[in-house]
Structure 1
Amino acid sequence: MTVQTAVKQYSTGEEIFNSVSHGAGAGLSAAALVLLVIRAALSAPEGMHALYVTSFALFGASLFILYLFSTLYHALTPHKAKNVFRIFDHASIYLLIAGTYTPFCLAALHGVLGWTLFGVIWGLAATGITLYAVFGNRLRVVSAVTYVLLGWIIILVYRPLSLAVPHATIVFLIAGGIVYTAGCPFYALKKYKWMHSIFHLFVLAGSVLHFFSVYFMI
């Protein structure tokens, strides 16, 4: 099997849609990063500006990195570089999950519970990234299940979190998680034409909802 046949999964039309849709996501994420940092700098509680700015910035940066790598992966022609960016693309999902947790751990919960959850999530994300870098697409199914499980660990701290943030933040957070999860069947059916492109739209929608969740945290 050649490198070209190993990585070519989608039609040219699908790849154009995939790269353009997540290219738009990268642009929106760059704007979101700026808005989040400004929001944190201007509105964070007294004495917590550093935690808010840092955690909001990490979330915004993880959004941008995910959409950037996804765009580059889908835009590349089927050669060795595409294989490399496929690893970056999947690894950045772990990065986004951990980045999304960060404001909730450090800014909303903080304290022992927040820092413990922060360490657990980032540790699991780092493990996932390392395993995917080593084993690649052989862990595709395991990785997909892990993404969902990591994303929903938040329900273990639902009670303290719901007391620490505005109701709108919880609504947007849960809605975003549901939308991300609802996109998983389309990801699983990616061998069928346009299914992966539809998955991209769910990812965009989930990201928008989580942006508002973090933005309205303060």
Structure 2
Amino acid sequence: MHTQNVHLKNYSAGEEIFNSVSHGTGAGLSAAAIPLLVVHAVRSAPAGLTPLYVVSFAVFGVSLFILYTVSTLYHALTSYEAKRVFRIFDHSSIYLLIAGSYTPFCLAALHGALGWTLAGIIWGLSIAGIVLYCVLGNKLRAVSTATYIVLGWIIVFAFRPLSHAVPHISLVYMIAGGIAYTAGCPFYALKKIKWMHSVFHLFMLAGSTLHFLSVYTMIP
């Protein structure tokens, strides 16, 4: 992990307080979401698929918790060197969340060869993205943002089978969450303008909430 390739944006104290509190709230909600998802899977998953639902729902919840916890710490820290390290963790956790968000749809809803293949591709590309960012840091900034968007929408290639595998409301929440995440990207790109990164945080929270609802309603 080469922190010398990581350069930080100097946010104001007010921005960092907002960023820490907003994603700290996300971390708290994510922690509460994990048992809700797991219990729902245990009680309501289709017969024979309960283990897949429980594990994949838990992976999704944990990936949410990791992202929001790491982001909160990154924005709350005041040590420059510590922030450089947590910036790497912060960006890496986005790849983790993308893969974690796909997991219930791939392993539980689709399962079978298609689901496992798609999960393998998403997790493989996400792990590759984490490794590359750890090595190259800001040199991959533009590529990383584009990669987040592309990875997030790979599901379109399996849209037809997925639309038959999950309830309509779950599909609507999933698409809406993807739109919310994508709509936040321009604000992330404009983070040199004051408060734009904070707006990006709100879109992240909206996208995560919608995807939680999508996963929860996956089981009728």
TM range (shorter): over 0.9
Tell me which residue corresponds to 2:51.
Answer: 50
2:153 is paired with a residue whose SS is helix
2:46 is paired with a residue whose SS is coil
TM-score where L is the length of structure 2: 0.96
Tell me which residue corresponds to 1:214.
Answer: 215
2:33 partner amino acid:
A
1:103 partner amino acid:
P
In the alignment, the residues of structure 2 paired with residue 179 and residue 186 of structure 1 have an alpha-carbon distance, to the nearest angstrom, of: 12
The equivalences for 1:94-109 within 5 A come to: 94-109=95-110
In the alignment, the residues of structure 1 paired with residue 34 and residue 141 of structure 2 have an alpha-carbon distance, to the nearest angstrom, of: 29
Deviation at 1:8, TM superposition (A): 4.6
User: Does residue 142 in structure 1 map to residue 119 in structure 2?
Assistant: no
1:168 partner amino acid:
I
Deviation at 1:7, TM superposition (A): 2.7
Q: Which runs of 5+ in 1 are unaligned?
A: none
Deviation at 1:47, TM superposition (A): 1.1
Q: Which runs of 5+ in 2 are unaligned?
A: none
2:217 partner amino acid:
F
In the alignment, the residues of structure 2 paired with residue 86 and residue 34 of structure 1 have an alpha-carbon distance, to the nearest angstrom, of: 28
Tell me which residue corresponds to 1:110.
Answer: 111
Q: For each residue in 1:126-147, what CA deviation from the matched residue of structure 2 results, as whole angstroms up to 9, or x when unmatched?
A: 0000000001111111100000
* TM-aligned CA distance change 1:7 to 1:78, over 3 Å: farther
1:142 partner amino acid:
V
Q: For each residue in 1:139-191, what CA deviation from the matched residue of structure 2 results, as whole angstroms up to 9, or x when unmatched?
A: 11110000000000000000000000000010000000001000111000000
TM-score where L is the length of structure 1: 0.97
Q: For each residue in 1:64-114, what CA deviation from the matched residue of structure 2 results, as whole angstroms up to 9, or x when unmatched?
A: 000000000000014211100000000000000000000000000000000
In the alignment, the residues of structure 2 paired with residue 166 and residue 99 of structure 1 have an alpha-carbon distance, to the nearest angstrom, of: 20
Mapped contact 1:173–1:210 kept (Cα < 8 A): yes
Mapped contact 1:7–1:78 kept (Cα < 8 A): no
Tell me which residue corresponds to 2:132.
Answer: 131
User: Does residue 65 in structure 1 map to residue 37 in structure 2?
Assistant: no
2:124 partner amino acid:
G
1:216 partner amino acid:
T
